[in-house]
Structure 1
Amino acid sequence: MAEQKTNAMRMLDKAKISYQTYTYAHEDGKIDGVSVAEKLGQDVRCVFKTLVTRGASHANYVFVLPVAKELDLKKAAKAVGEKSVELVHVDEINRLTGYIRGGCSPVGMKKLFVTVFDESVDRLPKVIVSGGKIGFQIETSPQDLLPLVQAKTAPITMEG
């Protein structure tokens, strides 16, 4: 059976970036990042979630952070030079990115938004992000992934 390719995987292939894919069962509805990391037997510090936000200027931003952490909206706004940012409503995610909640990858969105990874990614040999579809995850090196999505890093998570 041929592996199902998502848009994110096609983008990585096109950029000649090596990656590993993981799939997980999601019929139980547990698609939050921590559950996914547990299902894959992966360290929660290496599995990142992708959040889409809107700034005070109405521009959209993508923040990618460890699944067990929470986005600090003040730090996130500072990282992109906005007065404030807020998460976009779940109904808007597909229209903006082409992905659905739970399957939103920082790779292969409809448009390349300003993307910021939590600075903890700089200390990791690998990072796992959504493969662009619920049930699919992609592991690759941050050194390959961040330039592909033109991402920068900043401290964007809440302490503790």
Structure 2
Amino acid sequence: MTPAIKLLQRERVAHTVHSYVHDTHADSFGNEAVEKLGLDATQVFKTLLASTETHELLVAIVPVAGQLDLKALAHAAGCRKCEMAAVDAAQRATGYLVGGISPLGQKKRLRTFIDASAQALATIHVSAGRRGLEVALSPRDLATLCDAHFTVLERPR
């Protein structure tokens, strides 16, 4: 059981865990979850970490079909610019491996931002803390547990 699932159970938050056999050759962890679990891509969100100019790590939760707008994240965080965090820094801060980073139950409490599109959905899916493991919960519950802010983070197409 992952720290993310333990947190959900401890806080008695309604959730559903979905698992699938992860393909080590998959080129997109989020899209793999969509395909293997037969989910709607608009409801599956990826957890990304970015670093500010002061080296603060930020968590951004965006739809798997979209792309993170780093300028929008920087604006939401009140900093000048952001870049994607180094893999080792992301793994060290969260306690999870890339491809299985959950916004829940991370080792360090990081400022977290959820794309505003999640607010229109009753349920979203995020990583449950391991490749091949997803958890469905309400966006509001996710925001509460992560002390997250909703903001537009997805890059316009």
- Aligning the two structures, in what range does the TM-score lie when normalised by the shorter sequence? over 0.9
**What's the Cα RMSD here?**
1.0
Describe the superposition over 1:90-147 as per-residue Cα deviations: whole angstroms up to 9, x where unpaired. Answer: 1222211100000000000001100000000110000100000111000011121111
Among 6, 9, 13, the residue aligned to 1:10: 6
Determine whether 1:19 maps to 2:15.
Answer: yes
Cα distance in 2 between the residues matched to 1:136 and 1:17: 17
Cα distance in 2 between the residues matched to 1:144 and 1:73: 25
Counterpart position of 1:134:
131
Q: TM-score, normalised by structure 1?
A: 0.94
Counterpart position of 1:106:
103
Counterpart position of 1:45:
42
Q: Secondary structure at the match of 1:105?
A: coil
Counterpart position of 2:91:
94
Q: List alignment gaps of at least 5 residues for structure 2.
A: none
Number of equivalences: 156
Q: TM-score, normalised by structure 2?
A: 0.96
Q: Secondary structure at the match of 2:43?
A: coil
Is 2:8–2:14's contact at 8 Å kept on the other side of the alignment? yes
Describe the superposition over 1:38-96 as per-residue Cα deviations: whole angstroms up to 9, x where unpaired. Answer: 11100111000000111112211000000010001111100110100111111222211
Determine whether 1:124 maps to 2:121.
Answer: yes
Q: List alignment gaps of at least 5 residues for structure 1.
A: none
Cα distance in 2 between the residues matched to 1:77 and 1:38: 31
Cα distance in 1 between the residues matched to 2:57 and 2:93: 9
Cα distance in 2 between the residues matched to 1:27 and 1:38: 12
Among 72, 77, 91, the residue aligned to 1:75: 72
- State the AA in 1 paired with 2:6: R
- Stretches (4+) displaced over 2 A: none
Q: Which has the higher helix share?
A: 2
Is 2:51–2:83's contact at 8 Å kept on the other side of the alignment? yes
